[in-house]
Structure 1
Amino acid sequence: MSMSPAVQRSDDQKPALLMLHGFALDARMWRRQVEVFSDEFRIVTVDLPGFGAQARDVGEVSPAEEVGRAMDAAGLTSAHVLAASFGAAVATDFALRFPRRVQSLSFVGPQLLGRRLGIESWNRCVSLASDGDITTAAEVWLDDPLYLGLRHDEDLFEEVRQIVLDYGGAHWTGRVTSSWLDADPAPRLKELQTPALIMSGEGDLPSFLQMAEAYAKSLPRARREIVQGAGHMVNLEVPDHFNAVVYDFLQSLSR
Protein backbone atom coordinates (compact mmCIF):
# COMPACT_ATOMS: atom_id res chain seq x y z
CA MET A 1 0.00 0.00 0.00
CA SER A 2 1.32 3.42 -0.96
CA MET A 3 0.20 5.05 2.22
CA SER A 4 -0.88 4.02 5.67
CA PRO A 5 -3.66 5.63 7.66
CA ALA A 6 -3.16 7.14 11.07
CA VAL A 7 -6.31 6.24 12.97
CA GLN A 8 -7.56 7.11 16.42
CA ARG A 9 -9.37 3.99 17.63
CA SER A 10 -10.52 5.28 21.04
CA ASP A 11 -14.19 4.92 20.05
CA ASP A 12 -15.09 3.06 16.89
CA GLN A 13 -18.70 4.19 17.31
CA LYS A 14 -17.81 7.79 16.56
CA PRO A 15 -18.47 9.11 13.05
CA ALA A 16 -15.33 8.99 10.92
CA LEU A 17 -13.57 12.09 9.58
CA LEU A 18 -10.99 11.49 6.85
CA MET A 19 -8.50 14.31 6.20
CA LEU A 20 -6.71 14.74 2.84
CA HIS A 21 -3.81 17.21 2.62
CA GLY A 22 -2.66 19.68 -0.03
CA PHE A 23 0.19 19.42 -2.54
CA ALA A 24 3.76 19.20 -1.17
CA LEU A 25 2.31 18.80 2.32
CA ASP A 26 1.25 15.76 4.31
CA ALA A 27 -1.08 14.77 7.13
CA ARG A 28 0.76 17.01 9.60
CA MET A 29 -1.01 20.03 8.13
CA TRP A 30 -4.15 18.93 10.00
CA ARG A 31 -2.65 18.94 13.51
CA ARG A 32 -4.86 21.82 14.68
CA GLN A 33 -7.94 20.04 13.39
CA VAL A 34 -7.06 16.62 14.78
CA GLU A 35 -6.68 18.14 18.25
CA VAL A 36 -10.18 19.64 18.10
CA PHE A 37 -12.24 17.07 16.22
CA SER A 38 -10.87 13.91 17.84
CA ASP A 39 -13.24 14.31 20.79
CA GLU A 40 -16.29 13.68 18.62
CA PHE A 41 -14.92 12.00 15.50
CA ARG A 42 -12.79 9.02 14.70
CA ILE A 43 -9.97 10.73 12.81
CA VAL A 44 -8.22 9.16 9.83
CA THR A 45 -5.29 11.01 8.26
CA VAL A 46 -3.27 9.76 5.33
CA ASP A 47 -0.17 10.78 3.42
CA LEU A 48 -1.26 10.61 -0.21
CA PRO A 49 1.00 8.70 -2.64
CA GLY A 50 4.34 10.47 -3.13
CA PHE A 51 3.94 12.79 -0.14
CA GLY A 52 5.30 12.70 3.39
CA ALA A 53 8.73 11.96 4.78
CA GLN A 54 8.35 8.21 4.17
CA ALA A 55 7.03 8.48 0.60
CA ARG A 56 8.03 5.89 -1.98
CA ASP A 57 8.30 6.25 -5.75
CA VAL A 58 5.29 4.29 -6.98
CA GLY A 59 4.98 5.40 -10.60
CA GLU A 60 1.43 5.88 -11.85
CA VAL A 61 -1.11 5.52 -9.06
CA SER A 62 -4.73 6.40 -8.36
CA PRO A 63 -4.82 8.53 -5.19
CA ALA A 64 -8.56 7.87 -4.84
CA GLU A 65 -8.11 4.11 -4.92
CA GLU A 66 -5.35 4.43 -2.31
CA VAL A 67 -7.72 6.42 -0.11
CA GLY A 68 -10.18 3.55 -0.41
CA ARG A 69 -7.50 1.08 0.65
CA ALA A 70 -6.61 3.27 3.62
CA MET A 71 -10.25 3.33 4.69
CA ASP A 72 -10.44 -0.43 4.33
CA ALA A 73 -7.35 -0.78 6.51
CA ALA A 74 -9.01 1.44 9.12
CA GLY A 75 -12.18 -0.64 8.96
CA LEU A 76 -14.32 2.18 7.59
CA THR A 77 -17.15 1.72 5.12
CA SER A 78 -17.76 5.49 4.86
CA ALA A 79 -16.55 8.80 6.29
CA HIS A 80 -16.95 12.54 6.24
CA VAL A 81 -14.09 13.93 4.14
CA LEU A 82 -12.14 17.10 4.92
CA ALA A 83 -9.78 18.04 2.08
CA ALA A 84 -7.49 20.92 1.16
CA SER A 85 -6.34 22.06 -2.29
CA PHE A 86 -4.96 19.00 -4.16
CA GLY A 87 -6.68 16.80 -1.58
CA ALA A 88 -10.02 18.14 -2.78
CA ALA A 89 -9.28 16.89 -6.29
CA VAL A 90 -8.55 13.48 -4.77
CA ALA A 91 -11.72 13.60 -2.67
CA THR A 92 -13.81 14.48 -5.72
CA ASP A 93 -12.33 11.59 -7.68
CA PHE A 94 -12.99 9.31 -4.71
CA ALA A 95 -16.61 10.49 -4.37
CA LEU A 96 -17.29 9.93 -8.06
CA ARG A 97 -15.83 6.43 -7.86
CA PHE A 98 -17.34 5.44 -4.51
CA PRO A 99 -20.25 7.79 -3.71
CA ARG A 100 -21.63 5.59 -0.92
CA ARG A 101 -18.38 5.85 1.01
CA VAL A 102 -18.62 9.66 1.37
CA GLN A 103 -20.99 11.10 3.98
CA SER A 104 -20.03 14.73 3.34
CA LEU A 105 -17.35 16.82 1.65
CA SER A 106 -15.63 19.80 3.30
CA PHE A 107 -13.21 21.53 0.93
CA VAL A 108 -10.84 24.41 1.62
CA GLY A 109 -9.03 26.18 -1.24
CA PRO A 110 -10.03 23.30 -3.52
CA GLN A 111 -8.37 22.27 -6.75
CA LEU A 112 -10.70 21.27 -9.56
CA LEU A 113 -9.12 19.06 -12.21
CA GLY A 114 -9.28 20.45 -15.70
CA ARG A 115 -8.99 24.07 -14.54
CA ARG A 116 -5.95 26.35 -14.63
CA LEU A 117 -4.02 26.25 -11.36
CA GLY A 118 -2.34 29.63 -11.74
CA ILE A 119 0.60 28.65 -9.53
CA GLU A 120 3.49 30.90 -10.56
CA SER A 121 6.27 28.70 -9.19
CA TRP A 122 5.20 25.40 -10.76
CA ASN A 123 7.37 25.35 -13.89
CA ARG A 124 10.48 26.47 -12.04
CA CYS A 125 9.94 23.83 -9.37
CA VAL A 126 9.63 21.16 -12.05
CA SER A 127 12.85 22.37 -13.69
CA LEU A 128 14.82 22.51 -10.44
CA ALA A 129 13.58 19.14 -9.23
CA SER A 130 14.31 17.53 -12.59
CA ASP A 131 17.87 18.84 -12.29
CA GLY A 132 18.15 17.17 -8.88
CA ASP A 133 17.84 20.31 -6.74
CA ILE A 134 14.82 19.31 -4.68
CA THR A 135 15.67 21.60 -1.77
CA THR A 136 15.74 24.75 -3.90
CA ALA A 137 12.55 23.63 -5.62
CA ALA A 138 10.89 23.36 -2.20
CA GLU A 139 12.08 26.84 -1.21
CA VAL A 140 10.79 28.28 -4.49
CA TRP A 141 7.46 26.58 -3.83
CA LEU A 142 7.36 28.19 -0.39
CA ASP A 143 7.93 31.60 -1.97
CA ASP A 144 4.76 31.21 -4.05
CA PRO A 145 1.79 33.48 -3.22
CA LEU A 146 0.00 30.31 -2.09
CA TYR A 147 1.95 30.62 1.16
CA LEU A 148 1.67 34.37 1.60
CA GLY A 149 -1.01 34.10 4.26
CA LEU A 150 1.30 32.06 6.51
CA ARG A 151 4.04 34.66 6.64
CA HIS A 152 2.39 36.77 9.34
CA ASP A 153 3.44 34.09 11.84
CA GLU A 154 7.12 33.12 11.70
CA ASP A 155 6.67 29.96 13.76
CA LEU A 156 3.71 28.81 11.65
CA PHE A 157 5.58 29.40 8.42
CA GLU A 158 8.59 27.45 9.72
CA GLU A 159 6.32 24.57 10.75
CA VAL A 160 4.90 24.37 7.22
CA ARG A 161 8.34 24.88 5.70
CA GLN A 162 9.63 21.75 7.43
CA ILE A 163 6.73 19.74 6.02
CA VAL A 164 7.41 20.99 2.48
CA LEU A 165 11.13 20.27 2.83
CA ASP A 166 10.21 16.64 3.58
CA TYR A 167 8.45 16.40 0.21
CA GLY A 168 10.76 14.61 -2.20
CA GLY A 169 9.46 16.26 -5.36
CA ALA A 170 8.26 13.00 -6.88
CA HIS A 171 5.39 14.62 -8.80
CA TRP A 172 7.68 17.32 -10.18
CA THR A 173 10.10 14.69 -11.50
CA GLY A 174 7.52 12.17 -12.67
CA ARG A 175 8.54 9.47 -10.21
CA VAL A 176 4.92 9.53 -9.05
CA THR A 177 2.03 10.41 -11.37
CA SER A 178 -1.66 10.51 -10.50
CA SER A 179 -4.34 8.79 -12.52
CA TRP A 180 -7.94 9.99 -12.38
CA LEU A 181 -11.36 8.64 -13.23
CA ASP A 182 -12.07 11.84 -15.20
CA ALA A 183 -9.50 14.52 -16.07
CA ASP A 184 -12.33 17.07 -16.20
CA PRO A 185 -14.88 16.11 -13.55
CA ALA A 186 -16.77 19.43 -13.52
CA PRO A 187 -19.67 18.19 -15.70
CA ARG A 188 -20.17 15.27 -13.31
CA LEU A 189 -20.26 17.22 -10.05
CA LYS A 190 -24.05 17.46 -10.32
CA GLU A 191 -24.13 13.69 -9.75
CA LEU A 192 -22.83 14.09 -6.21
CA GLN A 193 -25.76 14.48 -3.84
CA THR A 194 -23.38 14.58 -0.88
CA PRO A 195 -23.67 17.60 1.44
CA ALA A 196 -20.69 19.86 0.76
CA LEU A 197 -18.96 22.80 2.40
CA ILE A 198 -16.75 24.87 0.08
CA MET A 199 -14.43 27.26 1.95
CA SER A 200 -11.96 29.82 0.66
CA GLY A 201 -9.88 32.55 2.15
CA GLU A 202 -10.73 35.90 0.60
CA GLY A 203 -7.04 36.32 -0.30
CA ASP A 204 -6.65 32.99 -2.10
CA LEU A 205 -5.29 32.99 -5.65
CA PRO A 206 -7.91 34.05 -8.22
CA SER A 207 -7.63 30.68 -9.95
CA PHE A 208 -8.43 28.82 -6.73
CA LEU A 209 -11.32 31.14 -5.94
CA GLN A 210 -12.72 30.39 -9.40
CA MET A 211 -12.36 26.65 -8.83
CA ALA A 212 -14.12 26.94 -5.48
CA GLU A 213 -16.97 28.86 -7.10
CA ALA A 214 -17.28 26.15 -9.73
CA TYR A 215 -17.62 23.52 -7.00
CA ALA A 216 -20.17 25.64 -5.11
CA LYS A 217 -22.31 26.20 -8.21
CA SER A 218 -22.15 22.61 -9.49
CA LEU A 219 -22.52 20.51 -6.34
CA PRO A 220 -26.26 20.24 -5.67
CA ARG A 221 -25.99 20.50 -1.87
CA ALA A 222 -23.11 22.93 -1.46
CA ARG A 223 -22.68 25.60 1.19
CA ARG A 224 -20.21 28.39 0.34
CA GLU A 225 -18.03 30.16 2.92
CA ILE A 226 -15.55 32.99 2.31
CA VAL A 227 -13.18 33.64 5.22
CA GLN A 228 -12.04 37.20 5.68
CA GLY A 229 -8.38 37.83 6.47
CA ALA A 230 -7.16 34.48 5.18
CA GLY A 231 -5.40 33.20 2.07
CA HIS A 232 -5.08 29.73 0.59
CA MET A 233 -4.44 27.75 3.78
CA VAL A 234 -7.38 28.74 5.94
CA ASN A 235 -7.10 25.79 8.33
CA LEU A 236 -3.56 26.87 9.23
CA GLU A 237 -3.93 30.65 9.04
CA VAL A 238 -7.13 31.00 11.11
CA PRO A 239 -7.62 27.56 12.67
CA ASP A 240 -10.14 28.56 15.34
CA HIS A 241 -12.51 30.10 12.81
CA PHE A 242 -11.97 27.27 10.34
CA ASN A 243 -12.67 24.63 12.98
CA ALA A 244 -15.84 26.41 14.08
CA VAL A 245 -17.23 26.58 10.53
CA VAL A 246 -16.46 22.93 9.79
CA TYR A 247 -17.84 21.81 13.14
CA ASP A 248 -21.06 23.73 12.57
CA PHE A 249 -21.42 22.17 9.12
CA LEU A 250 -20.87 18.65 10.39
CA GLN A 251 -23.22 19.17 13.32
CA SER A 252 -25.90 20.50 10.99
CA LEU A 253 -25.85 17.16 9.17
CA SER A 254 -26.55 15.25 12.35
CA ARG A 255 -29.37 17.65 13.24
Structure 2
Amino acid sequence: MLLAHDIAGTGPHVVLLHAGVADRNMWDPVMHGLTQVFRVLRPDLRGFGETPLPAEDYVDADDVAEVMDACGMDDAVVVGNSLGGRVALELATRHPARVRELVLLSPAYPDLPPSDALHDFIAREETLLDAGDLEAAVALNVDTWLGPAADDDTRAALARMQHRAFDIQLAAEADADVRGAAVGTPRPVAVDLDQIHVPTLVVSGAHDLDHFRAVAERLVAALPSAEHLDLDWAGHLPTLENPDAIEPLLLDVLRDDPTVHAP
Protein backbone atom coordinates (compact mmCIF):
# COMPACT_ATOMS: atom_id res chain seq x y z
CA MET A 1 0.00 0.00 0.00
CA LEU A 2 1.43 3.35 -1.06
CA LEU A 3 1.16 6.02 1.63
CA ALA A 4 -0.93 9.09 0.86
CA HIS A 5 1.50 11.92 0.25
CA ASP A 6 2.24 15.12 -1.55
CA ILE A 7 5.43 16.42 -3.07
CA ALA A 8 6.35 19.95 -4.08
CA GLY A 9 9.32 22.14 -4.93
CA THR A 10 12.61 21.60 -6.70
CA GLY A 11 16.10 21.09 -5.37
CA PRO A 12 17.72 18.68 -2.93
CA HIS A 13 15.36 16.09 -1.49
CA VAL A 14 13.74 16.45 1.94
CA VAL A 15 11.28 14.04 3.59
CA LEU A 16 9.03 15.30 6.42
CA LEU A 17 7.61 12.69 8.83
CA HIS A 18 4.77 13.80 11.09
CA ALA A 19 4.12 13.27 14.78
CA GLY A 20 1.72 10.62 16.08
CA VAL A 21 -0.72 13.29 17.23
CA ALA A 22 -0.94 14.81 13.74
CA ASP A 23 -0.60 14.03 10.03
CA ARG A 24 1.26 15.50 7.07
CA ASN A 25 -0.69 18.76 7.40
CA MET A 26 1.34 19.62 10.49
CA TRP A 27 4.05 20.81 8.08
CA ASP A 28 1.74 23.34 6.36
CA PRO A 29 3.23 26.36 8.20
CA VAL A 30 6.74 25.72 6.80
CA MET A 31 5.97 24.21 3.41
CA HIS A 32 6.06 27.44 1.40
CA GLY A 33 9.52 28.34 2.63
CA LEU A 34 10.97 24.85 2.30
CA THR A 35 9.64 24.24 -1.21
CA GLN A 36 11.34 27.40 -2.50
CA VAL A 37 14.67 25.65 -1.93
CA PHE A 38 14.00 21.90 -1.73
CA ARG A 39 11.92 19.12 -3.26
CA VAL A 40 9.81 18.16 -0.27
CA LEU A 41 7.93 14.88 0.24
CA ARG A 42 5.50 14.55 3.14
CA PRO A 43 3.54 11.29 3.57
CA ASP A 44 0.76 10.30 5.92
CA LEU A 45 1.89 7.22 7.85
CA ARG A 46 -0.58 4.36 8.19
CA GLY A 47 -3.56 5.30 10.33
CA PHE A 48 -3.12 9.05 9.87
CA GLY A 49 -4.50 11.71 7.55
CA GLU A 50 -5.50 10.12 4.25
CA THR A 51 -3.74 6.78 4.75
CA PRO A 52 -5.95 3.99 6.10
CA LEU A 53 -4.89 1.37 8.63
CA PRO A 54 -5.08 -2.02 6.87
CA ALA A 55 -5.40 -5.30 8.71
CA GLU A 56 -1.88 -6.57 8.06
CA ASP A 57 1.16 -5.68 10.14
CA TYR A 58 3.66 -3.31 8.55
CA VAL A 59 6.98 -1.51 8.92
CA ASP A 60 6.73 2.28 8.76
CA ALA A 61 10.29 2.66 7.47
CA ASP A 62 9.59 0.30 4.56
CA ASP A 63 6.48 2.33 3.72
CA VAL A 64 8.56 5.52 3.63
CA ALA A 65 11.21 3.89 1.43
CA GLU A 66 8.46 2.75 -0.94
CA VAL A 67 6.94 6.20 -1.28
CA MET A 68 10.42 7.66 -1.82
CA ASP A 69 10.86 5.18 -4.67
CA ALA A 70 7.53 6.21 -6.15
CA CYS A 71 8.66 9.85 -6.08
CA GLY A 72 12.10 9.17 -7.56
CA MET A 73 14.00 9.96 -4.35
CA ASP A 74 17.13 7.85 -3.96
CA ASP A 75 18.04 9.63 -0.73
CA ALA A 76 16.99 12.66 1.29
CA VAL A 77 17.45 14.67 4.42
CA VAL A 78 14.81 13.22 6.72
CA VAL A 79 13.04 15.46 9.24
CA GLY A 80 10.87 13.69 11.81
CA ASN A 81 8.85 14.90 14.77
CA SER A 82 7.99 12.51 17.65
CA LEU A 83 6.68 9.31 15.98
CA GLY A 84 8.19 10.67 12.76
CA GLY A 85 11.55 10.90 14.52
CA ARG A 86 11.33 7.24 15.50
CA VAL A 87 10.44 6.28 11.93
CA ALA A 88 13.37 8.37 10.66
CA LEU A 89 15.74 6.42 12.92
CA GLU A 90 14.21 3.14 11.71
CA LEU A 91 14.64 4.27 8.10
CA ALA A 92 18.30 5.06 8.77
CA THR A 93 18.68 1.56 10.26
CA ARG A 94 16.84 -0.51 7.62
CA HIS A 95 17.61 1.64 4.57
CA PRO A 96 20.78 3.58 5.44
CA ALA A 97 21.49 4.61 1.85
CA ARG A 98 18.19 6.50 1.75
CA VAL A 99 19.10 8.92 4.59
CA ARG A 100 21.61 11.68 3.93
CA GLU A 101 21.02 13.58 7.16
CA LEU A 102 18.59 13.51 10.11
CA VAL A 103 16.72 16.31 11.85
CA LEU A 104 14.85 14.90 14.84
CA LEU A 105 12.31 17.14 16.60
CA SER A 106 11.33 15.77 20.02
CA PRO A 107 11.85 12.25 18.66
CA ALA A 108 10.36 9.07 20.04
CA TYR A 109 12.76 6.21 20.74
CA PRO A 110 11.47 2.73 21.60
CA ASP A 111 14.36 1.62 23.82
CA LEU A 112 13.76 4.18 26.56
CA PRO A 113 10.95 3.23 29.01
CA PRO A 114 8.17 5.82 29.47
CA SER A 115 8.65 8.32 32.27
CA ASP A 116 5.99 8.58 34.97
CA ALA A 117 4.47 11.60 33.22
CA LEU A 118 4.26 9.84 29.87
CA HIS A 119 2.88 6.69 31.48
CA ASP A 120 0.21 8.82 33.18
CA PHE A 121 -0.73 10.44 29.87
CA ILE A 122 -1.06 7.06 28.15
CA ALA A 123 -3.27 5.74 30.95
CA ARG A 124 -5.52 8.82 30.90
CA GLU A 125 -5.89 8.65 27.11
CA GLU A 126 -6.76 4.93 27.21
CA THR A 127 -9.36 5.56 29.94
CA LEU A 128 -11.04 8.29 27.88
CA LEU A 129 -11.05 6.22 24.68
CA ASP A 130 -12.40 3.16 26.49
CA ALA A 131 -15.20 5.34 27.81
CA GLY A 132 -15.97 6.59 24.31
CA ASP A 133 -15.14 10.19 25.20
CA LEU A 134 -13.32 11.05 22.00
CA GLU A 135 -13.56 14.81 22.45
CA ALA A 136 -11.91 14.65 25.88
CA ALA A 137 -9.16 12.41 24.50
CA VAL A 138 -8.51 14.92 21.72
CA ALA A 139 -8.42 17.79 24.23
CA LEU A 140 -5.99 15.85 26.41
CA ASN A 141 -3.63 15.42 23.47
CA VAL A 142 -3.82 19.08 22.49
CA ASP A 143 -3.14 20.19 26.08
CA THR A 144 -0.27 17.72 26.50
CA TRP A 145 1.64 18.16 23.27
CA LEU A 146 1.40 21.86 22.44
CA GLY A 147 3.64 24.28 24.28
CA PRO A 148 2.68 27.78 25.46
CA ALA A 149 3.62 29.44 22.15
CA ALA A 150 0.70 27.78 20.33
CA ASP A 151 -2.29 30.01 19.58
CA ASP A 152 -5.98 29.06 19.38
CA ASP A 153 -5.89 28.41 15.63
CA THR A 154 -2.98 26.02 16.10
CA ARG A 155 -4.79 24.20 18.88
CA ALA A 156 -7.84 23.83 16.64
CA ALA A 157 -5.72 22.53 13.76
CA LEU A 158 -4.05 19.93 15.97
CA ALA A 159 -7.43 18.87 17.35
CA ARG A 160 -8.67 18.22 13.80
CA MET A 161 -5.63 16.10 12.96
CA GLN A 162 -5.82 14.11 16.18
CA HIS A 163 -9.56 13.57 15.76
CA ARG A 164 -8.98 12.27 12.23
CA ALA A 165 -6.33 9.83 13.48
CA PHE A 166 -8.63 8.54 16.22
CA ASP A 167 -11.44 8.10 13.68
CA ILE A 168 -9.22 6.02 11.37
CA GLN A 169 -7.71 3.93 14.12
CA LEU A 170 -10.97 3.26 15.97
CA ALA A 171 -12.68 2.30 12.70
CA ALA A 172 -9.87 -0.17 11.99
CA GLU A 173 -10.27 -1.66 15.46
CA ALA A 174 -14.04 -2.02 14.96
CA ASP A 175 -13.49 -3.72 11.61
CA ALA A 176 -10.95 -6.08 13.15
CA ASP A 177 -13.44 -6.99 15.88
CA VAL A 178 -16.07 -7.85 13.29
CA ARG A 179 -13.61 -10.06 11.44
CA GLY A 180 -12.34 -11.63 14.66
CA ALA A 181 -8.80 -10.54 13.83
CA ALA A 182 -6.18 -8.21 15.20
CA VAL A 183 -5.79 -4.69 13.86
CA GLY A 184 -2.67 -4.02 11.83
CA THR A 185 0.25 -2.79 13.94
CA PRO A 186 3.77 -1.58 13.15
CA ARG A 187 6.40 -4.29 13.50
CA PRO A 188 9.23 -3.16 15.78
CA VAL A 189 12.56 -2.23 14.26
CA ALA A 190 15.70 -2.53 16.38
CA VAL A 191 17.52 0.78 16.03
CA ASP A 192 21.30 0.44 16.33
CA LEU A 193 22.46 3.95 17.14
CA ASP A 194 26.12 3.00 16.77
CA GLN A 195 25.50 2.29 13.09
CA ILE A 196 23.89 5.63 12.24
CA HIS A 197 26.70 7.91 11.09
CA VAL A 198 24.90 10.64 9.15
CA PRO A 199 24.90 14.20 10.52
CA THR A 200 22.04 14.48 13.01
CA LEU A 201 20.44 17.42 14.77
CA VAL A 202 18.29 16.51 17.78
CA VAL A 203 15.91 19.29 18.87
CA SER A 204 14.17 19.28 22.24
CA GLY A 205 11.71 21.65 23.88
CA ALA A 206 11.91 23.03 27.41
CA HIS A 207 8.13 22.61 27.80
CA ASP A 208 7.98 19.03 26.51
CA LEU A 209 7.43 15.97 28.71
CA ASP A 210 10.55 14.86 30.57
CA HIS A 211 10.59 11.56 28.66
CA PHE A 212 11.33 13.25 25.34
CA ARG A 213 14.00 15.46 26.84
CA ALA A 214 15.64 12.27 28.14
CA VAL A 215 15.35 10.73 24.67
CA ALA A 216 17.15 13.73 23.17
CA GLU A 217 19.99 13.37 25.66
CA ARG A 218 20.22 9.63 25.00
CA LEU A 219 20.40 10.08 21.24
CA VAL A 220 22.98 12.84 21.35
CA ALA A 221 25.18 10.76 23.67
CA ALA A 222 24.93 7.66 21.47
CA LEU A 223 24.86 8.91 17.88
CA PRO A 224 28.40 9.47 16.59
CA SER A 225 27.52 12.56 14.50
CA ALA A 226 24.78 14.20 16.56
CA GLU A 227 24.38 17.61 18.10
CA HIS A 228 21.66 18.94 20.37
CA LEU A 229 19.57 22.11 20.22
CA ASP A 230 17.22 22.85 23.12
CA LEU A 231 14.48 25.43 22.47
CA ASP A 232 13.47 27.29 25.62
CA TRP A 233 10.05 28.24 24.16
CA ALA A 234 9.05 24.89 22.67
CA GLY A 235 6.84 22.00 23.68
CA HIS A 236 6.58 18.79 21.69
CA LEU A 237 5.52 20.22 18.31
CA PRO A 238 7.71 23.25 17.59
CA THR A 239 6.78 23.44 13.90
CA LEU A 240 3.16 24.11 14.85
CA GLU A 241 3.90 26.20 17.94
CA ASN A 242 6.24 28.72 16.35
CA PRO A 243 6.76 28.20 12.61
CA ASP A 244 8.36 31.64 12.26
CA ALA A 245 11.24 30.34 14.39
CA ILE A 246 11.39 26.79 13.02
CA GLU A 247 11.26 27.60 9.31
CA PRO A 248 14.53 29.56 9.22
CA LEU A 249 16.15 26.98 11.50
CA LEU A 250 15.18 24.17 9.14
CA LEU A 251 16.26 26.14 6.09
CA ASP A 252 19.68 26.82 7.58
CA VAL A 253 20.18 23.24 8.79
CA LEU A 254 19.05 21.72 5.51
CA ARG A 255 21.28 24.09 3.55
CA ASP A 256 24.15 23.00 5.81
CA ASP A 257 24.87 26.51 7.06
CA PRO A 258 27.82 26.16 9.47
CA THR A 259 26.77 29.26 11.44
CA VAL A 260 23.22 28.08 12.20
CA HIS A 261 24.00 27.27 15.84
CA ALA A 262 26.48 30.04 16.41
CA PRO A 263 25.65 32.38 19.31
Q: TM-score scaled by structure 1?
A: 0.87
Q: Distance in 2 between matches of 1:132 and 1:50?
A: 19
Q: Match for residue 91 of structure 2?
A: 94
Name the structure 1 match of 2:5.
5
Q: 1:238 to 1:212 in 2, by over 3 A?
A: same
Q: Is the 8 A contact 2:206 2:232 kept in 1?
A: yes
Output one character per residue of 1:178-198: Cα deviation in whole Å (capped at 9) or x when no partner: 11221xx3xx21211101111
Matched-pair contact (CA < 8 Å) for 1:16–1:42: yes
1:50-129 maps to which residues of 2 (within 5 A)? Answer: 50-118=47-115, 119=118, 120-129=120-129
From the superposition, tell whether residues 49 and 106 of structure 1 become closer, same or farther in structure 2 (CA, over 3 Å): same
How many pairs are equivalent? 246
Alpha-carbon distance in structure 1 between the residues aligned to 2:196 and 2:166: 34
Whole-Å separation in 2 of the counterparts to 1:83 and 1:206: 19
> How many angstroms does 1:216 deviate by?
1.1
Match of residue 35, structure 1, among 26, 29, 32: 32
- Contact 2:147/2:241 (8 A) holds in 1: no
Structure 1: stretches of 5+ with no match in the other structure: none
- Return closer, same or farther for 1:88/1:136 CA change in 2, 3 Å cut-off: same
Q: What 5-or-longer segments of structure 2 have no aligned partner?
A: 174-181
What is the RMSD of the two structures over their aligned residues, measured on CA atoms? 2.3
- Cα distance change of structure 1 residues 153 and 217 upon mapping to structure 2, 3 Å threshold: same
The one of 226, 251, 254 equivalent to 2:255 is: 251
Partner of 1:236: 240
Q: Which amino acid aligns with 1:177?
A: T
The whole-number CA distance in structure 1 between the counterparts of 2:134 and 2:244 is: 33
Change (3 A) 1:228 1:128: closer
Q: State the shift of 1:162 in Å.
A: 1.2
- In structure 1, the partner of 2:183 is 175
* Identity between Structure 1 and Structure 2 (%): 26
Q: Which residue of 2 aligns with 1:164?
A: 162
Q: 1:220 and 1:104 mapped to 2: Cα distance?
A: 13
What amino acid maps onto 1:86 in structure 2?
L
CA contact (8 A) 2:129 2:137 kept: yes
**Residues 43 and 49 of structure 1, relative CA distance in 2, 3 Å threshold:** same
